[in-house]
Amino acid sequence: MGDLRLKPLLEPLLVAVLCGAVFTITGLTSGFGRALYVGGSGIVAPPELLTPSVRIAEVTVVLASAFVLAWKSPALRAAVCIAALALFSLHAAVFRTSFYLSRSDSVVLILMLGAIGVGGGVLLRMRERSRAALAVAAEERARRDERLDMARELHDVVAHHVTGILVQAQAALVVAEEDKSRAYDFLPGIVDGGTDALGAMRAMVRTLRDNGAATATSDLTADLHQLVEKSGLPVRTSIELTEDVRPELGRSVLRLVQEALTNTRKHAHDATNVEVDVRLTASAVLLSVVDNGTARPPHSGGFGLVGMRERVHELGGRFFAGATGDGWLVTAELPLEVRV
């Protein structure tokens, strides 16, 4: 708690010290009495103590401070601190003596240099805000694309079959009004349509988002082994799927593993070992992909991690991606049942 209270006071404290240093140099240059408006020249330091290199260092520190304040500090705090630096710098320009510039020229020079320093900091601040806004927009777009991808996948694989089922069911209702026994003739077609729909969902072979995305068949274990073989990475697999899972869930498992391996290939060039673990529990599918490559920041995976997190969230699961002591880990828990 003490650190949180001290941090907002640190910048004003440093600025106060810097302003005090500027005023001290002004007093040593022109006399403290004169600098404080009490008349007289006061005590003037020997010329060798205030060499051009000292003054250049002073100007550099003041301008650098104004630049950093305008760039990084909260707006109100930055304005107050920069105003204090400007006042003490202008005071120095008026009361110090110079063999090279008149007082008016010194004031103009300080204002110009200050405007350049503060302007540069403000430009960087605006640039960072713009980048942050673009990153947020891009992340939201990635989430929206992932939701759309999932919706289109489900629609494309079942829409045709469900339409056939509805047509046959409606026909059965019409026929049943005259002859109920004839309505039973439509039941095999409805059952076949449902079976075909389930088979189509298990055979999602198209991808609508990435041209090189993996395709899924009815055998998730075989699909995962095939994906690992094509990855070109030194992968060890442990896949324990004792029974079939929902088709859309199997598709998501495959996509998550593929994206995790893609991130490893892109960002962990020095990885010598990658482990893929997929197993089925009583209530969920658990998967993890871990490598021993150089750890990278959480955003290094670009928007792939955003899409992975969004897909897991839409399925009601839990997702984690981050650095470990020896590399990078991606884990997900996907529930077997749809959470409404």
Domain residue ranges of the chain, discontinuous segments joined by +:
2-100, 209-340
Residue 22 exposure: Cα atoms within 13 Å on the Cβ side: 26
One-letter amino acid identity for 292? N
Q: Is residue 4 predicted with pLDDT exceeding 50?
A: no
Q: Tell whether the model's pLDDT for residue 149 goes beyond 70.
A: no
- pLDDT at res. 287: 95
Q: Name the CATH topology of 209-340.
A: Heat Shock Protein 90 (3.30.565)
pLDDT number for residue 211 = 40
**Predicted local distance difference test score (pLDDT) of residue 275:** 94
Looking at residue 107, its pLDDT comes to 84
* pLDDT tens per residue, range 28-80: 777 776 677 666 555 555 555 667 787 788 888 999 999 999 998 888 888 99
Q: Which of 24-38, 162-176, 208-222, 250-264 has the lowest mean pLDDT?
A: 208-222
Q: Are 267 and 253 in contact (CB under 8 A)?
A: no
What φ, ψ does residue 335 adopt, rounded to 5°? -65, 145
The per-residue pLDDT for 340 is 44
Query: Is a pLDDT exceeding 80 seen at residue 119?
Result: yes
Residue of higher predicted confidence among 211 and 317: 317
Cα torsion angle, 149, 152, 156, 159, sign: positive
Strand partners, 290: 275, 329
User: What is residue 108's predicted lDDT score, i.e. its pLDDT?
Assistant: 87
Residue 295, pLDDT score: 64
Mean pLDDT of the chain, nearest integer: 78
pLDDT confidence of residue 150: 61
Tens digit of each residue's pLDDT (9 = 90 or more) over 156-203 = 556 666 777 777 777 778 777 777 777 777 777 777 777 766 655 554
Q: Which two tokens stand for residue 119?
A: 């302007």
- Give CA angle at 182 (178, 185), nearest 5°: 150
